[in-house]
Amino acid sequence: MNQINMSNQEHPKKLSLAGRMASLFVKNKELNILVMLFIVAWGIGSFILMPKNYNPDIVAPAFTITTAFPGATAQQVQELVTRPMEDAISELPDIDQLISHSFDGGQSVVMVQFKVGTPAENAKISLSQKFKDNMFQKPIGASDPSMITLDPDDVPIISIALTSDTRSPQALRNLAFDLADELKLVTGTSKVAVVGGLSNNLQIELNAEKLSAYHLAVSDVINTLNTSNGIYTAEPLKNNNDTETLRVNGSIASTEDAAHIVLIPS
């Protein structure tokens, strides 16, 4: 009786789709090169045809709030005007950056920048409402805050800082204004501004008894000083083909200038 030995025959495994594709690329080198060239050409073409904007419009609402507090020092402006305003503004949602400056002579400047994507109109309304809600914190003699919407084109391109070991702070500030006048003459310059520095200021102390004797209020003194301190320009005078501008310098530069101001009760 013949004995038949049956041997196990190995059956090839059935490849998946990924396996069949891999096997195809392994066996066909020319196909590999062709596919790679197609991918590179497709990538280059997509990059060339892709729309580009090198200066995209980024919606990031920004505002500058300026408050005048005549006669106050930088420290007084910081404590009575700037800091309370910063505390109030920081309560708003979507605030990204808050920068403030307090100057001698009585000026507070606060720059508020909201996060990218915040609707500009909503940001402006919420900021204005916050001012109205906190108006009671404004010190006596300070003006109502004025708000200016910042345009992205107004962002400084170049910022120059001046320092000196030999010049006084006042002389350094005067040098900054001289430099600003020269920069304004450069072709293509849109705007030049001087920020910071130490300027001369005149402090006036009021005598309550004399105010009462002349029937004057503190507001009368403040209003008269504000009206008297400025440079006024009249209508241009035309003479043949020439036009001349008349300016009256009424700025208060010394104690002598302030002494000649006439106070009239309201």
Structure confidence at residue 245 (pLDDT): 60
Cα angle: 50, vertex 55, 58; to 5 degrees:
105
Among the listed ranges 103-107, 228-232, 261-265, which one has the minimum average pLDDT value?
228-232
* Residue 197, both tokens: 């520095």
Query: What integer is the mean pLDDT of 138-150?
Result: 85
Judge whether residue 170 has pLDDT over 70. Answer: yes
Give per-residue pLDDT as tens, 130-139: 888 887 778 8
**Percentage of the chain modeled with pLDDT above 70:** 80
Judge whether residue 7 has pLDDT over 50. Answer: no
Give per-residue pLDDT as tens, 219-245: 888 888 877 776 565 666 666 666 666
Helix axes 29-49, 17-27, angle to 10 degrees: 100
CB-neighbour burial class of residue 134 (10 A; exposed 0-12, middle 13-18, buried 19+): middle
Give per-residue pLDDT as tens, 37-71: 889 999 898 888 887 766 666 778 889 898 888 87
Judge whether residue 171 has pLDDT over 70. Answer: yes
Judge whether residue 15 has pLDDT over 70. Answer: no
Judge whether residue 6 has pLDDT over 50. Answer: no
